[in-house]
Structure 1
Amino acid sequence: MAPDPTRLFASPRARRRALFHALLATLLLVGVTILLRRQVAFLADAEAARAYVRGFGVWAPLALIVLQALQVVLVPVPGQVLAAVAGYLFGPWWGTLYNVVGIGIGSAAAFWLSRRFGRGYVERMVAEDALATFDGFVERRGLLTLFVLFLLPGLPDDAICFVGGLTHIPLRRLVVVAVVGRAPAFFLANVFGDLLATGDVGVAVGLLVFVTGLSALGYANRERIARRLNEWRR
């Protein structure tokens, strides 16, 4: 039986795992907030937080760039979370620039690692359903389709980087497409962070709801999107 393209989780086990991770993340967030309530109160003052970060000079942007690069390869947190933090601390334009640099480095590393160590490595790094959906896809349809995959919200961008590395497309072109395709979503995340910093909470919430809705639609329909793109230009 073909998989339902509108199903959010591949199996009940995947659903339980996602709910467990969400509960664990919530508990950790609450615990950290309680333990560090003084620091949280300080961070809630955007001007004070930005002034504090500026005190570190070039090291603060470098730290963000390194973290953003590592999240592509290691996937400990969604990149958009770091992007929102960057928007809060650095503003939408500088925050986006630092994020794009980090994403470029991380994407290049993911492409290179999958190309260097091959399919076995990718199978260990990428979820089975994502690999099944996008395996060989970029090789067949080319860079323009890869750009669309990166541009659409809700698709597993980091997993697509690893899968894309299995192609014969030159590494430089893969990196350019990954950076350009992912930049709009990261810019919106930075704008969200900046809106929180400037106190425009209502607009920030509206933007968050809009982007989250698009991402949910993209994720729920990822197989359908892949099929449509695979049929494109035939």
Structure 2
Amino acid sequence: MKRQSWLINSLLCIAVVVGLVWFNHNVLHLAPEEIRGWILSCGWAAPVLFILIYTIRPLILFPASIMSLAGGLAFGPVWGTFYTVIGATLGAVLSFGLARVLGENLFRVRLEKWRKLETQLWEKGFLYILLLRLIPVFPFDLVSYAAGISKVKFWAFLFGTLLGIIPGTFAYNFLGSSFFQGKTLYVIIAAAVFILVTLIPLFLKKRMVKDS
């Protein structure tokens, strides 16, 4: 009965995700330039509005990369990175909290093969989250929601997210700023940071293997 309930909940979750992705792609379909123009039209409240939107963004699964590029376009590489890190961290905490409250009853299935992984997540949650945040290929919101359902401690998730998103956020904001200002140097810096971000997880993975 529990497995059947888990399957139904999983199918409902997939349906919601597919629906939100379709909504973002076909209905919202917002470009970074459009977001920049709308946010800056709010004057002094623009940074607060940007952070607020970034915080609630995971609720509709709007692409984090587009918001990060918009931050660079609107506020430049330095302040854009600062505001984006705050908004992204708050959004990740919101996702984590929702998943922990709802997922505890809806998606928790106790299986023997998962107990070892849950123990590792409990003991080394910070390194796992840091590694996943540094790797650009993993969807940002998926990591947040999955961490909320798993055994990762809140503080390990928070600091792993906060530190792990800084390099990629910095690169995205530099890239967004370069689109607006037409500076080739920003594009080169963004590319260099992206390369560095892909190398850091390899080092952390080796360290985790040694410690295990």
Q: TM-score, normalised by structure 2?
A: 0.64
Q: Which amino acid aligns with 1:111?
A: F
More helix by share: 2
Q: Deviations over 1:6-46 (max 9, x none)?
A: xxxxxxxxxxxx9xx79x949986xx89xxxxxx9xx69xx
The answer for the alignment partner of 1:62 in structure 2 is 48
The answer for the alignment partner of 1:162 in structure 2 is 145
Contact 1:73–1:158 (8 Å) recurs in 2 = no
User: In the TM superposition, what is the alpha-carbon distance from 1:232 to its structure 2 partner?
Assistant: 4.9
Q: Which amino acid aligns with 2:141?
A: D
Change (3 A) 1:143 1:160: same
The answer for the alignment partner of 2:164 in structure 1 is 181
Contact 2:125–2:153 (8 Å) recurs in 1 = no
Change (3 A) 1:206 1:97: closer
Contact 2:73–2:176 (8 Å) recurs in 1 = yes
The answer for the alignment partner of 1:97 in structure 2 is 82
Ranked by relative contact order (alpha carbons within 8 Å, sequence separation 6 or more), the top structure is 1
User: In the TM superposition, what is the alpha-carbon distance from 1:229 to its structure 2 partner?
Assistant: 8.3
Change (3 A) 1:85 1:122: farther
The answer for the alignment partner of 1:87 in structure 2 is 72
What is the total number of aligned residue pairs between the two structures? 182
Q: Which amino acid aligns with 2:100?
A: R
Which segment is superposed worse, 62-71 or 84-93?
62-71
Q: Give the 3-state SS of the residue equivalent to 1:154 in structure 2.
A: coil
The answer for the alignment partner of 1:193 in structure 2 is 176
Provide the rounded CA distance (Å) in 2 between the counterparts of 1:208 and 1:120: 43
Q: Which amino acid aligns with 2:211?
A: R
User: In the TM superposition, what is the alpha-carbon distance from 1:106 to its structure 2 partner?
Assistant: 0.8
1:153 counterpart = 2:136? yes
Q: Which amino acid aligns with 1:64?
A: F
Change (3 A) 1:232 1:109: farther
Change (3 A) 1:202 1:176: closer
User: In the TM superposition, what is the alpha-carbon distance from 1:72 to its structure 2 partner?
Assistant: 2.7
The answer for the alignment partner of 1:233 in structure 2 is 211
Provide the rounded CA distance (Å) in 2 between the counterparts of 1:28 and 1:70: 15
Q: Deviations over 1:67-113 (max 9, x none)?
A: 21222343122x12111111111011111111111111111111111
Counterparts of residues 1-234 of structure 1 (less than 5 Å)? 25=25, 56-77=42-63, 79-119=64-104, 136=118, 138-139=121-122, 141-200=124-183, 204=187, 207=190, 211=194, 231-234=209-212
The answer for the alignment partner of 2:6 in structure 1 is none
Q: TM-score, normalised by structure 1?
A: 0.59
- Percent identity, aligned pairs only, is 19
Change (3 A) 1:180 1:203: closer
Contact 2:168–2:193 (8 Å) recurs in 1 = no
Contact 1:83–1:190 (8 Å) recurs in 2 = yes
Contact 2:174–2:186 (8 Å) recurs in 1 = no
